[in-house]
Chain A
């Protein structure tokens, strides 16, 4: 019986990780039509939130670290910036996990927005300290909006794996 089995890491960590990497690469293609570029959401943010809600894990923080480093290398930003921001988001979601239990989808979406905002504010501060200049607020808001619309992907991951491990019911 599948429900009684322990949750395999590759199923809830490996496969979504691969999907997030592929999505990030696809959205990094230099495509421009009618003067508009593709948005650049932070796909691993949905994973950082969903993994914290699904269950506490030893592997998840390291998976997030790797995803963040890949993001930094691919986007050409300061190495470790998104790794740290995503881990902060994961930490916020993990600490609020007990409060999120049994909440409606709208409340969870609000929590997702809160964790994303925390990560982006942290990123703003780190970048400000690093480059001694303030990043623009408007591009940050665009990326924030592009990221919070990814919540349905996080919800799907939560629905798939929240009850998959009998020890965490």
Chain B
């Protein structure tokens, strides 16, 4: 009797059906997991427990495995440096000659900038603290481009923190656990970064597509970009500081504008995680939403409500329409954190340091007192309202809300 005639052969049919059912169950499970995944939200709580646990385990394992890789890479670099030393020396000499000229220009500009800042009383952004980390794993497929860095929550890293190499922006943190952070690269399909073209100040959104050169979307204006233009972060939206180097513009094979990333100039083995707090992290949204509604503005013939006596200049109707005093929170939300909306402001109180200084006080301060926002140069609705009667003595420089890197 051959094995094909064996009664055990009958097991084949039910097993095929059972395998098909198992496949369907597995597909349903995978679909449910995929639909419930919220990676693209980039919220701290969306980075699930499974990912945190795996990152915690993978960071030391990847670090250990990457050590021979670093040695091999270092060996290749040594060989390349040895054979290219003469030509590199000539290039560096030429570059040094140019850089000496630039150094003189830079020193002159630095002094001039310092003088202007003193004259204008401009509040520049505080320096951003940063954390150095080593990249321990790397994925660069078409559907995911992330890296694992060996610095995590214990060193103050938070979701959203920008990550840089020595050459330029690399990406931002999308998940943090103890001892590791997951970095979403600029090339990832889910990455969107607001950038500006240095030459024209035109804005665009850098969109990753899994390839080495992300594309520029939403470019506007006439001739906003040329081949070789330098791109920097624009700081729009407050997620990434303004002025971090991103790369240079090139025309892709598909005819779209793409970017050769500055961070690609060298292997990304060490990175700097900028502990940058964006606007949404600083603001107290809960307190902001609880801000009291402003009292109604009394018209010319209407009786005055008790407790709503308008102060002379601020509430005086103007021909262009009465400037309504905005609510305390709406004027400059950042201040809502430090000042209670109902608290009595004092005109002689010193404004706190930093770009968001003084704005809340200005909203609820006595209208006849000079608002601190004017002193610090910040542009808030409160200063506009007051300005209708009492224009500021000097022009107000516009400062971006999340200005940072380029000084």
A contact set with B: CB distance below 8 Å = 25-26, 28-34, 37, 40, 55-62, 64-65, 68-69, 72-84, 87-88, 90-91, 94, 123-124, 126-127, 130-131, 133-136, 138-140, 142-143, 166-169
Q: Is there contact, CB below 8 Å, between B76 and A33?
A: yes
Q: Is there contact, CB below 8 Å, between B73 and A33?
A: yes
For the complex with contacts A33-B72, A83-B33, 18 further pairs of A-B residues with Cβ separation under 8 Å are A29-B62, A30-B136, A30-B137, A32-B267, A40-B141, A60-B22, A61-B22, A69-B30, A76-B144, A76-B148, A80-B37, A123-B142, A131-B190, A135-B143, A139-B140, A139-B212, A143-B142, A167-B11
Which among A32, A83, A87, A124 is the interface contact of B23 at CB below 8 angstroms?
Answer: A87
The segment from B13-21, B154-162, B328-336, B350-358 that touches chain A is B13-21
- The yes or no answer to B243 lying at the interface (CB within 8 A) is no
In whole angstroms, how far apart are the Cα atoms of A77 and B6 in the complex? 48
Known: A28-B139, A139-B141. A126 touches B34 (CB 8 A): yes
In whole angstroms, how far apart are the Cα atoms of A166 and B12 in the complex? 11
Q: How far is the CB of A17 from chain B (nearest CB, A)?
A: 14
Q: Is there contact, CB below 8 Å, between B144 and A131?
A: no
Contact with A along B240-268 (1 / 0, CB 8 A): 00000000000000000000000000011
- In which size bucket is the chain B interface? 35 or more
In whole angstroms, how far apart are the Cα atoms of A34 and B77 in the complex? 8
Q: Is there contact, CB below 8 Å, between B141 and A143?
A: yes
- The yes or no answer to B306 lying at the interface (CB within 8 A) is no
- The yes or no answer to B127 lying at the interface (CB within 8 A) is no
Q: Which residues of B contact A131 (CB under 8 A)?
A: 40, 189-190
Leading 4 A-B pairs by shortest Cβ distance? A77-B144, A80-B34, A76-B146, A80-B33
Q: Which residues of A contact B144 (CB under 8 A)?
A: 72, 75-78, 81
Q: Which residues of A contact B22 (CB under 8 A)?
A: 57-62
Q: Which residues of A contact B35 (CB under 8 A)?
A: 80
Between A and B, 6 residue pairs with Cβ closer than 8 Å are: A40-B141, A56-B18, A76-B184, A81-B34, A133-B207, A166-B8
Q: Is there contact, CB below 8 Å, between A136 and B51?
A: no
In whole angstroms, how far apart are the Cα atoms of A80 and B39 in the complex? 11
Q: Which residues of B contact A73 (CB under 8 A)?
A: 50-51, 54
Q: Which residues of B contact A78 (CB under 8 A)?
A: 34, 37, 39-40, 143-144
Q: How far is the CB of A118 from chain B (nearest CB, A)?
A: 14
Q: Taking CB as reference atom, which chain A residue is nearest B182?
A: A76
Q: Is there contact, CB below 8 Å, between A136 and B73?
A: no
In whole angstroms, how far apart are the Cα atoms of A142 and B36 in the complex? 29
Known: A76-B146, A143-B142. A90 touches B11 (CB 8 A): no
In whole angstroms, how far apart are the Cα atoms of A88 and B304 in the complex? 73
Q: Is there contact, CB below 8 Å, between A138 and B69?
A: no
- The yes or no answer to B61 lying at the interface (CB within 8 A) is yes
Q: How far is the CB of A20 from chain B (nearest CB, A)?
A: 15
Q: Is there contact, CB below 8 Å, between A136 and B31?
A: no
Q: Is there contact, CB below 8 Å, between B142 and A31?
A: no
In whole angstroms, how far apart are the Cα atoms of A31 and B138 in the complex? 9
Q: Is there contact, CB below 8 Å, between B139 and A40?
A: yes
Q: How far is the CB of A109 from chain B (nearest CB, A)?
A: 22
Q: Which residues of B contact A167 (CB under 8 A)?
A: 6, 8-9, 11-12
Known: A34-B80, A94-B23, A167-B9. A74 touches B31 (CB 8 A): no
Which among B3, B39, B136, B269 is the interface contact of A166 at CB below 8 angstroms?
Answer: B3
- The yes or no answer to B65 lying at the interface (CB within 8 A) is yes
In whole angstroms, how far apart are the Cα atoms of A60 and B21 in the complex? 12
Q: How far is the CB of B170 from chain A (nearest CB, A)?
A: 12
Q: Which residues of B contact A60 (CB under 8 A)?
A: 19, 22
Q: Which of B4, B174, B211, B268 has the most CB of A within 10 A?
A: B211
In whole angstroms, how far apart are the Cα atoms of A82 and B62 in the complex? 21
Contact with A along B177-211 (1 / 0, CB 8 A): 00000101000011000000000000000010111
Q: Is there contact, CB below 8 Å, between B139 and A84?
A: no
Q: Which residues of B contact A77 (CB under 8 A)?
A: 39, 139, 141, 143-144, 146
Q: How far is the CB of A80 from chain B (nearest CB, A)?
A: 3
In whole angstroms, how far apart are the Cα atoms of A145 and B50 in the complex? 31
In whole angstroms, how far apart are the Cα atoms of A75 and B29 in the complex? 20
Contact with A along B210-226 (1 / 0, CB 8 A): 11100000000000000
Known: A26-B65, A80-B31, A136-B209. A31 touches B73 (CB 8 A): yes
Q: Is there contact, CB below 8 Å, between B30 and A80?
A: yes
Q: Is there contact, CB below 8 Å, between A30 and B268?
A: yes
Q: How far is the CB of A73 from chain B (nearest CB, A)?
A: 5
